[in-house]
Structure 1
Amino acid sequence: MTTSPTGLGEPRGPWFVSPELNPADRPGYGVPEAAPRGGGAGAWRRGLLAALAVVALSTASGGLAGGYVASRDPAQGKVAASPPSSPGGASGVPADLVNAAAQALPGVVSVQVGTGSGMAGGSGFAVDDGQHIITNDHILDAGGSGGVTGSAAGGNGTGVTVVGPDGRRLPAQVVGRDPGSDIAVLRVSRSAGLRPLPLAQPKSTRVGEPVLAVGSPLGLSGTVTAGIVSALDRQVRLGHAGRQSAVQTDASINPGNSGGPLVNARGEVIGVNTAIATLEGSGSIGIGFAIPIQRAEQVADRLIRRGG
């Protein structure tokens, strides 16, 4: 008998590896690598890098046509001023972020995958009126579904289900998967009525602008956390394709946020939340990574053309 994740869960998923680290130095899966003791400043730096290599990927956890636009900003490193936002209430939350959350939440779902012994989960979001949903491929890996597409069932006979913002549980078809980019596309019935989220225009994202991470961290659906874009074109190793550029954010991303959208103050998706860096197995420390939406859009479009 399977159970749905309803609360705290275990971090699991693929690794984020600092580009400065040799892959051979990567610690074992799920086991935080302790920092070396002693040895002066050099040992301390090595310990810090090793600790940063530990990732709790948000797993206990498609797309429209668009060209690939690498997030390479020649002005990287220069903080761009964000437009002033309207004042918020006593909490200090800008009103534009409140509006962005209201726009994003109706299109965000929880993704649940049967593992044979329970359920693994993540997040996803609708991108078109055909009810295609972008999510992370590693969420489906948790269910052992391998490369199987075109079915709601994983390779072990268990299913993929999405839970809509209204609480309805809907069987989902796996349209396509791309482990290299860590992007997968699901589809649900048009009767689901999910609101497609608008996607940000290429090169419109700026360092320092406010963002929201939306998803189901630790099984808590409809959760929104706020932060800023910390960096663009951050080179990290995500998925199975080696090093690739990512959007770095300090918005809290936790297990279960994987596959959910990172949205700007206009409610436009700028990235797909995928990983966090941790220190010695701790939770989110304000260093999270999202796949740029232009890359995710390109991959999702290809998967939809191929899989329907």
Structure 2
Amino acid sequence: KVTDELDAAGIAWSLYSEIKPNPTIKNVQDGVEAYQAAGADSIVAIGGGSSMDTAKAIGIIVNNPEFADVRSLEGVAPTKNHAVFTIAVPTTAGTAAEVTINYVITDPEKVRKFVCVDTNDAPEVAVVDPDMMASMPAGLTASTGMDALTHAIEGYTTKGAWELSDMFHFEAIKLISENLRDSVAEAKSGQPGSGREGMALGQYVAGMGFSNVGLGIDHAMAHTLSAHYDTPHGVACAMLLPIAMEFNKPVCAERLAEVAVAMGVDTAGMSADEAADAAIAAVKQLSADVNIPHVCEAM
């Protein structure tokens, strides 16, 4: 769809698609070389979080060559220039990388993933179109959707949460809880519908929230799991989410009780602890309903 539009407009393009599901340092380095060899002046990033994250790193390095060592971008790197002009077109409903200031790269040599946070990496344009997500198979729909739910719940319960981010995250939890099952069913039937649209909006709204307040222990553990076993990021997040919620419950039971409400649980008459437990149970049930494995051995 995208290349046809570029051809029709007479815009020359070159394709770089050598990107692993958990993108590596080499993927980024090769991408920088491909960008320069093509004489490109902008990037159209099409795909899921892996493509988006790789594109962000490429765009940053092209305009900040002093950070050619990809590892130097870890954390909050003091880049001076915004990344090259980038249009992000997500084809999955999960990472919201098209609107966040974060990207994650895998270092196979050290068997770890590292997170880069940089306001200079945000794409100038994000085209969030459910039709571009219609080809996702059911398994990918489920795992990326659970990644989006993890973003929303962690963003809602993180120490940095506040009134504005709460608005994004509460609505995202509601949208994802209401639409993920339908979206997976639509993937199985091959008939896109309102579930896809709801998930496209839900993951986008979650991204607008967590990009401003950060995430939590679930993502910290999920990155380690993916680095060691190449576990798909969304699956890792989904498996760990109930565990992380249970671990955090002693310090955020009231917040988790509100998560239960957002997920459609009737919490009338429940204590905060009981409602928090109901939120954890609701997450487990949603994962089971969309066939997410609950232990590594099941993958």
Range into which the TM-score falls when normalised by the shorter chain: under 0.3
More helix by share: 2
- Higher relative contact order (CA closer than 8 Å, sequence separation 6+): 1
Instruction: Give the TM-score, by structure 2 length.
Output: 0.23
More strand by share: 1
Instruction: Give the TM-score, by structure 1 length.
Output: 0.23
